[in-house]
Amino acid sequence: MLLIAGLGNPGREHAGNRHNIGFMAVEKIAEAFRIGPFRSRFQGLIAEGPIGGERVALVMPQTYMNESGRSVGEAMRFYKLGLDSLVVVHDELDLAPAKLRVKIGGGSAGHNGLRSITAHVGNDYKRVRLGIGHPGDKNLVHNYVLNDFAKSEAGWVDAMCEAIAGAAETLAKGQDASFQNKVHLALAAAGFAGKEAKDED
């Protein structure tokens, strides 16, 4: 079984925030594979269903970003899962908008959701990093991630979430390179190839 955790902050006021693109992607996966409805469990919203023949639980922690690990840890203990069965989908400042990278382990790069998950369950889990770009000054980061995507960004955000859902079977099967390539090909076809950016692994 695979646990895919999308990160974000709960509440309608945060729904369109850059920090919530992890929620947006997981919701699109649920929609594409008719998984749901989500129900309240493990201090989060959770839904189970098959993706490409694999049993998957989708979770969106409702603890606020900096306590995401409480929800993810609870779900992992319930399902008796190891770190190799956890995929975390999150916003990434160090990637250009419409860029996606998959990596296992590594630092949290100041991301409080990742820091919390690592503190609760360990570090060597898979991260699907969704580029949102950087405001250019670290003092602007807090407001940047907690502000909604601009109207001009809506196209690539929707296209990226659709592309992730479209390639989710390869992610569920652990075919990370294929997943990454499929997403980027779909984004390029939609006219959102993404600009190269500093990619800190």
User: Is 47 exposed, middle or buried, given 0-12, 13-18 or 19+ CB atoms closer than 10 A?
Assistant: buried
Q: What's at 27, amino acid-wise?
A: E
Q: Please give the C-alpha separations between residue 164 and each of 29, 40, 160, 185, in angstroms, as whole numbers.
A: 7, 24, 6, 11
Structure-block tokens of residue 165: 């859902």
Tell me the C-alpha distance between 12 and 19, whole Å: 13
Strand pairing class (86-92; 126-131):
parallel
Q: Is 142 a catalytic residue?
A: no
Catalytic residue among 19, 90, 111, 134: 19
* Cα atoms in the 13 Å half-sphere on the side-chain side of 194: 26
Structure-block tokens of residue 162: 């659709």
Tell me the C-alpha distance between 180 and 21, whole Å: 17
In this structure, the chain runs to a length of 201
Enzyme catalytic residues: 19
